[in-house]
Chains A and B, each alone.
Chain A
Amino acid sequence: MIIPFPGLFYWRNRAKAVPLFLLVASSVLVVGTVATLTGSVLMSVYRANVKPYEAYSLVVSKQAGIPKQITNEIVACEHVEEMVPVLDSKVKVKGLFGTEGRTILAVPEDRADFCLARIGLRVKKGRLPYAGEDGIAIHEEIATAKGISIGDLVGREVNPDDYLWGMFQVTGILTGDVPYGIASLEYFKAQWALDTGELDFAYLVFPREGYRDELNSYLAMLPGNQVLVRNLGTAERQFRSESQNMDLLLWLVNFLVVAIISCAMGLLNTVHLLGRMKEYGLLAAIGLTPTQLVRRAFDEVLILAFAGYVLGIVASKGVLIYIAKWILGPRGIPVSPMGLRALMFSLPIPVMLSVFSFATIGRHLLRLDFISIMEGRD
């Protein structure tokens, strides 16, 4: 390795390196933390509103119940494994940036275990509600967010924000990827104002393994004036349209941070470089080419920028772990500190400021008049 090693200048001149280093690290910390928190919100919305459709598609009547003929058509489809009549409702929980809805599925008691297994849920504590019982099993995140446990009551009469008719007693706590609640369809129907007679209002349609796309294609052909089909594709489209603004805003903030930091760091680097003209002049005089000089200067910036980046990411992870464990976790708001979002959103910071510094320093070094420096005329 050629002396001086890249980074040695900043290592031995820490007073000059620390402001640059902290500038990068703090920017990465802020961008990384915000990116992870917004990512957690999006992930939470995704888990609640999109992920369940990986397991099933929902067919909802646009009238007072799904006609028998359509039900029979769905049953006859070779890609259908199981059709479960359902009514759904929502309870509200506090999210990171406001309240979010969480779905409560009311299914027949004898199909509840099947639905749970397919959606990826299991009973952690207590039990599922019996047929006709005013009970509810809720996901642990909902329970934590609402501060309730087995035996407590939930419903519109307890909290007017919840769209849950009547009062339900919590019979069990669920765990798994999808933050759902399960209630008794028999009880829901008894409470429901709309009488659909023998017809069901909606179905969860579970595809045979590996036939989800085929089933969705089939369901798409059902008469649109009678039923509404919601599947993974529609859920994802809606999710994307709702989430793209958040990401756009984040990239915009990121761009501004990157631009400001790049300018500041480029300027500071240029100031440091101007103070080292004799060093670079000497290197040029003894035979290092302008390209080699630029490369050396660039390596230094790169090392500093990425060291700051690593510190920023580590600090961001620390802050996020703290937030997840002590602030948001106890409120039932899941945060994933170890996601790649922080890395992805903050990576442009070291990259762009290296490029910016390279552009400013490179220009100086490529035009370096080392003779003037050696003759003391600089």
Chain B
Amino acid sequence: MITADNLSLSYGQGQTRCLAVNAVSIKVERGEFVMILGPSGSGKSSLLYLLSGLRSPSSGNVFYLGRDLSGMRASEVARIRYECFGFIFQQHFLVPYLTAVENVCMGRKDALKYRARVLLHQLHLAGKEKALPSELSYGQRQRVAVARALVHEPQVIFADEPTASVDSELAAEICDWLRQYCGAGHTCIMATHDSQLAKYASTVYSIRDGHLGSAT
């Protein structure tokens, strides 16, 4: 489904040049729950951004369903992100003036509100549909962020440290939801520093200094 070929990402030039992702090749199949494990600064988030088309690589290629994202116009990549990908970030990034349902449907059509309510219900937020982020606990906000990534039923979920700021119970819940989602034929690629969560993934890669280790 997603293939990366000799992918590199560098910042700066000359003496200050830093290689965040170094010649990474990876293949992710449909239904896989891939976890990229690595400490802070290892390049896992950068790799996630490259695979999802958020960033363009310095060299190498990313293919989604056989189409080279690096060869596409920015608007085409944005369209793929919008239609086929879902994102969960370390911070929830909920919009303070929108209700939970509206945050779930953020940037999407009004018609998705029904599905948003169902998702919130499944994520144990029944009755909180009209709550503003300021009326939710941190954990509840992160659940809303998860619902936001799932509401349009994307083919691939990219999760960048979604459990970094939550307690271990919620972290386990989030991983469990993502695993269930993959079980329904979708794909998930998650970057995390927490090796405890590796048990939820179908494939685990470790990353250090931009180099991707072999799959386990």
Q: Which residues of A contact B98 (CB under 8 A)?
A: 3-4, 8, 12
Cβ proximity bits A12-43 to B, threshold 8 Å, 1 near / 0 not: 11000000000000000000000000000000
- B102 at interface by CB-CB < 8 Å: yes
Q: Roughly how many angstroms separate A375 CA and B91 CA in the complex, as a whole number?
A: 9
Q: B87: CB under 8 A from chain A?
A: yes
Q: Nearest Cβ in chain A — how far from B164, in angstroms?
A: 11
Chain A contacts for B55, CB-based, 8 A: 371
CB pair B107–A3 under 8 Å, yes or no, is yes
Interchain CB contact under 8 A, A376 and B106: no
Q: Which residues of A contact B74 (CB under 8 A)?
A: 289
Contacts of B78 in A (CB 8 A): 284, 287-289
- Is the C-beta of A279 less than 8 angstroms from some C-beta in chain B? yes
Asked if A194 is at the interface of the complex by the 8 Å CB criterion, the answer is: no
Q: Are A285 and B106 in contact (CB under 8 A)?
A: no
- Residue of A13, A282, A289 touching B106 (CB-CB under 8 A): A282
In the complex, what residue of chain A is closest to B93 when comparing beta carbons?
Answer: A282
Inside 8 A of A370's CB, which chain B residues have their CB? 54
Any B CB within 8 A of the CB of A273: no
Q: Which of B45, B90, B93 has the most CB of A within 10 A?
A: B93
Interface residues on chain A, number (Cβ under 8 Å):
24
Q: Any chain A CB within 8 A of the CB of B33?
A: no
Task: Please give, as numbers and ranges, the residues of chain A lying within 8 Å of B75 by CB-CB distance.
Answer: 289
A9 within 8 A of B: yes
B109 near A278 with CB under 8 A, answer: no
B97 adjacent to chain A (CB < 8 Å):
yes
Q: Does B138 contact A (CB under 8 A)?
A: no
B-contact 0/1 string along A266-302, CB 8 Å cutoff: 0000000000001101111111110000000000000
B185 CB, nearest partner CB in chain A, Å: 21
Complex Cα–Cα for A146 and B186 (A): 87
Complex interface bits, B90-125 against A, C-beta within 8 A gives 1, otherwise 0: 110101011000100111111000000000000000
What chain A residues lie within 8 Å of B45 (beta carbons)? 375
**Complex contacts, A281 vs chain B, CB 8 Å:** 93
How far apart sit A288 and B54, CA to CA, in the bound complex (Å)?
12
Q: What is the bound-complex CA distance between A287 and B54, given in angstroms?
A: 9
Beta-carbon contact of A287 and B97 below 8 Å? no
Task: Confirm or deny: B79 has a beta carbon within 8 angstroms of a beta carbon on chain A.
Answer: yes
The answer for the CA separation of A217 and B7 in the assembled complex, in Å, is 86
A374, CB-defined interface residue at 8 Å? yes
Q: Check if B109 sits within 8 Å of A283, measured CB to CB.
A: no
With a CB–CB cut-off of 8 A, which chain B residues contact A249?
none
Q: How far is the CB of A233 from chain B (nearest CB, A)?
A: 58
B93, A278: Cβ atoms closer than 8 Å: yes
Distance in angstroms from B87 CB to nearest chain A CB is 6
In the bound complex, what is the Cα–Cα distance between A289 and B72 (angstroms)? 14
New contact pairs (4) apart from A3-B105, A4-B102, A288-B107, CB-CB < 8 Å: A3-B107, A3-B110, A286-B81, A374-B54
